[in-house]
Amino acid sequence: MKSEYLSEYDNIVRTMQLYIDGCKQGKSELMRPAFHPNASFFGYAGEQLAIGTQFLFDWIDKNGPAPNIEPRIVSVDILDSIAVVRLEVAEWSGKLAGSGVRMSDLFTLLKTPGGWKIIQKAFHWHAAEQRLAA
């Protein structure tokens, strides 16, 4: 029998996997169930401040498949009904992403009656720095 911690951990990772699947296939519909209806999204895409999950979903659909991304879960911290997940994604590719770029994500999740849902994704897009440095 799994401990309560392990079962919460695995449920969180399953939610994250929906996000990762959506990224890989370039289909926002795959990741939408992972997000809370009131989820928010924040970060800089180059100079532009990107706000709102609709921006994210549109971006994923327009970017298209990114089959070679290398996602790694860096940390999962669970505090009763809330959790923080840090995800590092290397080798981002696609129509908008370009190739071989890196994204650092901080997800906060809320445990709802319908399971663990992403309530916010904050991202840092390392490509912007590389471009600025070049």
Partner 1 sequence: MPERNTPQKTLESWKQIAAYLDRSERTVRRWEATEGLPVHRHEHERQDTVFAYRHEIEAWSRLRTASPNPSSVDGADTDNLPAPTPIVNKYLVEHDAITRTMHRYIAGARAGDSDLMRSAFHPSATISGYCLGVEYTGSVEHVFQWIDENGPAPNINPRFARIEIIESIAVVHLEVQHWSGKLAGANARASDVFTLLKRNGEWKITHKLFHWHDQ
CB 27 → partner 1: shortest distance, Å? 25
Closest distance between partner 1 and the C-beta of residue 56, in Å? 14
Q: If binding is defined by CB under 8 A, does position 110 make contact with partner 1?
A: yes
DSSP per-residue codes, the chain: ---HHHHHHHHHHHHHHHHHHHHHHT-HHHHGGGEEEEEEEEEEETTEEEESHHHHHHHHHHH---TT-EEEEEEEEEETTEEEEEEEEEEEEETTTEEEEEEEEEEEEEEETTEEEEEEEEEEEHHHHHHHH-
Residue 81 binds partner 1 (CB under 8 A): yes
Is residue 130 a contact residue for partner 1 (CB under 8 A)?
A: no
Q: Which of 28, 53, 63, 120 binds partner 1 (CB under 8 A)?
A: 120
129 binding partner 1? (CB under 8 A) = yes
Question: In the complex, which residues of this chain contact partner 1 (CB under 8 A)?
Answer: 36, 38, 40, 42-44, 49, 51, 77, 79-82, 84, 86, 104, 106, 108, 110-112, 119-120, 122-124, 126, 129
